Copies of this chain bind each other. A is one copy, B any other.
Amino acid sequence: MSKLLIVGTVAFDAIETPFGKTDKILGGAGTYIGLSASQFNVDSAVVSVVGDDFPQEYLDLLTKNNINIEGIEVVPGGKTFFWSGRYHNDLNSRDTLDTQLNVLADFKPVVPNEYKDAEIVMLGNLHPLVQLSVLEQLESPKLAILDTMNFWMDNALEDLMKVISKVDVITINDEEARQLSGEYSLAKAAKKIATMGPKYVVIKKGEHGALLFHEEQVFFAPALPLEEVFDPTGAGDTFAGGFAGYIAKTGDISFANMKNAIIYGSNLASFCVEKFGTERMVELSGEEVDSRLEEFKKLTQFEIALT
């Protein structure tokens, strides 16, 4: 087993979907990544920042899930990052209603001493310079995984390219892959992004699954066709957390093992969307994850003798 260091927001979300709306609830990329990875009982820590308006019970929830929170700075008198969004009827797109950076605006991440030797680092979506700072505090990670989004391509491309050049794996969605590469074909986009640094390119297609590219190889993990999607918030981070958590648990960074890791990422993301916010993830059992893995096998595995 390898140590997993996660950086990402720990925050408040307020969410509206066609099925209902929430007040401020626990959210943030760091939260979703941490909860997802915790399914593998790995030794993980989250580096983040909150204000002193952040409820102790949320921090306790992370601790209870075996996530080290020493690296979550609590700023006295500060207010926690807040995001609010409304999903459209198809749940595939959303409008951001409000974003309050608050304490995130001056966030200087500090990696706890006992995680500086973490072998696996998951850089959740944040300003690329924050991601870079975390990466630079680590001694010699075996695998650095970067998640990012179009906002940084639009607003901090130069810094983003710096961090992209230093990581082993990048996870982005299909539209972001197209924007970053200027290529419409995802196969071409992945090749171009690989020339920017990452040896492994994971392209997330939401309800259409995820692709893993490495040199001339490609692997596909479908999304489970669900009857009900309740709230997509955090699905991409849960996917990334499942990917990073499985790799940390196995300590194996081969392509063959990464295939399994994206299957687990899809597996865990399929739970995340079943309830509002982190609700489904905090109640999730290992038996449920195992049983869903069997569904993934039935969904994709076939036997053909050549004709």
Contact = CB atoms under 8 A, between A and B. Distances in A.
Contacts of A301: 300-302
Given A40-B307, A185-B225, A300-B300, 14 more contacts: A185-B226, A185-B228, A187-B225, A208-B208, A211-B225, A219-B299, A219-B302, A220-B299, A256-B303, A259-B302, A260-B302, A293-B304, A293-B306, A301-B301
A263 interface: yes
A195 to B, nearest CB: 15
Contacts of A302: 219, 259-260, 263, 300-301
A218 to B, nearest CB: 6
A259 B297 CA distance: 13
A278 B299 CA distance: 31
Interface residues of A, number: 43
A220 B307 contact: no
A104 to B, nearest CB: 34
A300 B220 contact: yes
A299 B185 contact: no
A209 interface: yes
A290 interface: yes
A154 to B, nearest CB: 21
A90 interface: yes
Contacts of A219: 298-300, 302
